[in-house]
Each structure stands twice: as structure tokens, then as C-alpha cells.
Structure 1
Amino acid sequence: METTICPWCQTEIVWDEELGPEEECPYCHNELKGYRTLNISLGSAEELEEEVEADEEADTDLWEEDEESHLNAIRRLESFAAAGGDLLAYESGVEKILDGQDEIPECPHCREYMMFAGTQPLGADFEPAGQEAVEQPLVAGTAKLNVFVCSACFHVSKFLSEDDRNALIRTVSGQ
């Protein structure tokens, strides 16, 4: 027998197998078909435990991946320290640099903060694509990129400079 809970009166409805489900609640006479009805089938306790264990394993795997990338970054810094470098001085220097930055993005790999390294022109090999929707290129050929370096894993990321971001926003919005 199939069990349904009426969303209106919260009464459990047990349907007769021969007649099947009805279109309205026998208690409050509200409609049960379509988007208003929620059928919940409960599995055994073993199935529920297996599902919870699978979710926990998936969470653990993601956590381990996160820890692994962070550990690789730490290993790079430890190799610097092993070569006679002063990690405290490095961390202090990184903090001073970050304090002076207007924009401090997070590294996409290890989530540490990134230091501004400079700007880079898009270059002569960049060919702006024309967009029919806005009738002009999204980014000018003279645009500059801000280059950031991660303070832990030394990953390099590039972003449009603030002026070029504003120009892109104006272009897309038709201003």
C-alpha cells in the first residue's frame, strides 16, 4: 500500500491497492494532484545508514583534496626555510604587501591571499572578438591585466585592470 501525507491537513492517507490514489484528501477534501502533493517513500534503516556513510566519505574526500593542495603549498615554503630562509620574515613581508593592496583575491588552488605583482598588456597577439549583441568588442586590444601571485603556492592569476573592467561593464550595459 502507498502512503501519502496530505499537504493541507497533514493527515497520513493509506490508499487501497485496488482503487489506487484518489484526487482529493478523504479528510479535508483538498486536491492532492500536481504540484501540491509530496509523496515520500521511506527506505529501510540500512539504506539510510548507507546513504549517510556515502555522503560522509564524499565530504572526507573533498576535505582531503583541500588539505593536500594546502600541504603542497606548505611544503614549498618549508623548502625555502630549509634553504636558510626566514619564514617569519616572509610572512611579515607578505602581510605588509597585502595591507597596501586595494584588491586581495584568493588563490583558486589553496585559498591563500594573492599579492599584486604588476600589470601586463594583452599583447599584439590578442585579437578582440566582435559581439553582435553589443556591436563592438568586449575588451579593447589595449586592455591591461593585473597579475597576482599566490603567497603560498605561487600560482599566478590574471584579471582585467579596474579601468578595463569598468569599460567592459559599460560596453555590455550599452552605455
Structure 2
Amino acid sequence: METTICPWCQTEIVWDEELGAEEECPYCHNELKGYRTLNIQLGSEEEFEEEAELADGEQEEDYWEESSNPHLDAIRRVESFVAGGGDLLAYESGVEKVLGGQDEVPECPHCREYMLHAGQQSIQDGSFEPIVPKGMSTPLLSNTIKLNVFICSACFSVSRFLAEEDRNSLIRTVSEKA
């Protein structure tokens, strides 16, 4: 018989060899297969010691070089700032101070860190051409709108959102035509 621990309720599940593994936990009824379950095969202590002896700076550097994750690239930029004499603690403290003064604190769509409000961008006449959606008599937005610009403090990606007054205008326009 095979024994498994449910990752959700931490209950030991004993499966019969004839029936095989179940799709869900018989106690909490959560799925046991798929992306929600992580199976880790642990090796002997000797294997861990061998890996520790083999680990050196070159292997670690190769790991970082193979990565194509932009979030890791941003981490390297912050680390290079620290290596160049910058104070990471001061940076983090400054980020917290800026975030504390913001009315709106969106999460970065890439790395889920909080974003800093960097300013407002005006879309002037001619730069933005609004359309009239089907079933409506007026466009959703005017041709002069403002966007709030946010920068991620970790991966430095930029996001733009409608400014508060333009959001309210959009809500009123859609509500009146509904």
C-alpha cells in the first residue's frame, strides 16, 4: 500500500494497491493531482553533501545567465545599485514612504509588487481618437483624458490607468446609456 500526506489538510491517505491513487482527498475533497500538488523526492544526505561540494560561483552564475525572467533582470539591477555603493535599505524605506502617501496602490501585473505613482500623462486633442461603441450615441471617453502613470518598485515596468475624474466620467457615460 502507498501512503501519501494530503497537502491541504495534512491527513495521511493510505491507498489500496488495487484501486490506485485517488484524484481527490477523501477527507477534505481537494484535488491531489495537477498544479496544486508538489511532489518532492528527497535524496540521501550523501547526495546533498556532494551537491554542496560541487556548488561554486560558476554554477550559480550559469543559473542566472540562463534565466530569461524580466523580474530577475530587475533584481539584478537593484543588486547592481547596491554593489555600486547604493543602500538597499534606504531604497526600500523610500519606496515604503512613497507608497504610504499614495491614495491608490496597484500591484504590478508582472511581479505583483506594489507600484509607485510617478505622475500623470495628458492625452491631448488628436493623440487619442475616441470611438462610439455600438448601441451608444456618444464615445466612452472624451478626446482629452489623463492617465495616472505607475512604476513598479521591483521590476520597473510601467502601467497607466485612467485618472479618477476620467474614471467617473466613464462610469457616468456607461450608466446613462445602459
TM-score normalised to structure 1 length: 0.62
Note the alpha carbon deviations across 1:127-173, whole angstroms, 9 max, x for none. 10112323111111101000000011101000000000000000000
Return closer, same or farther for 1:44/1:54 CA change in 2, 3 Å cut-off. Answer: farther
Deviations 1:86-122 (A, max 9, x none): 1111111111111111000011111111000111112
| Cα contact 2:128–2:144 (8 A) shared by 1 | no
Q: Secondary structure at the match of 1:137?
A: coil
Is 1:151 aligned to residue 153 of structure 2? Answer: yes
Counterpart in the other structure of 2:133: 131
Contact 2:121-2:146 at 8 Å conserved across structures: yes
Sequence identity (%): 59
Distance (Å, rounded) in 1 between the aligned partners of 2:86 and 2:99: 20
Structure 1 partner of 2:82: 81
Q: Find out whether 1:140 has 2:142 as its counterpart.
A: yes
Query: Quick one: which amino acid aligns to residue 129 of structure 1?
Result: I
Cα distance, 1:95–1:171 mapped onto 2, change above 3 Å: same
Q: Secondary structure at the match of 1:167?
A: helix
Q: 1:45 pairs with 20, 45, 54, which one?
A: 20
The one-letter code of the counterpart of 1:109 is H
Measure how far apart 1:55 and its partner are. Answer: 3.6
CA distance in 2, matches of 1:59, 1:167: 51
1:11-160 alignment runs, 5 A limit? 44-46=19-21, 48=23, 52-56=32-36, 71-123=72-124, 124-160=126-162
Cα RMSD, aligned residues only: 2.8
- CA distance in 1 between partners of 2:34 and 2:165 (Å): 48
In structure 2, what residue type is equivalent to 1:159? F
The Cα offsets for residues 10-49 of structure 1, whole Å up to 9 and x where unpaired, read as xxxxxxxxxxxxxxxxxxxxxxxxxxxxxxxxx9414749
The unaligned stretches of length 5 or more in structure 1 are: 1-42, 61-67
Specify the alignment match of 1:166 in structure 2: 168
Distance in 1, Cα, partners of 2:118 & 2:35 = 41
Name the amino acid aligned to 1:140.
S
Equivalent position SS for 1:169 = helix
Describe the shift of the 1:132–1:46 C-alpha distance in structure 2 as closer, same or farther (beyond 3 A): closer
Which stretches in structure 2 are left out of the alignment for 5+ residues? 1-17, 25-30, 41-68
Q: How many pairs align? A: 125
